[in-house]
Amino acid sequence: MTGPRDRSLTAIIVLCAGVLAVAVGMVMVITAGWLDSTPEPADLTVPACLSEDWVPDSGVCLWDARVQGNGQGTSFMRDAQGGVWHRDPQVKG
């Protein structure tokens, strides 16, 4: 037989479980909205130029002079509009 003390303990446990369920639900709603509004990161990879004079179909490539060619010179990037951006600020392109 259950007494008033057992019923009070049961009521407290049920109340705590309800509060916990509401709190977890609120956290899920808040974070779900935040995650939905966060854009995916953009893919910013640039293909390597096959040679210093090579221009790919996309027009975009990166020449890393440290590891390409003879390992000397200035690194640069070609953009889609035909511009050349040197990594060495002393070089005017």
Which whole number is the average pLDDT over 70-79?
88
More confident of the two residues 90 and 70: 70
Pairing type for strands 84-86 and 61-63 reads unpaired
Domain ranges of the chain: 1-38, 43-93
Residue with tokens 């010179």: 73
What is the structure's pLDDT at 31?
62
Closest CA to 13 of 5, 2, 25: 5
pTM for the model stands at 0.47
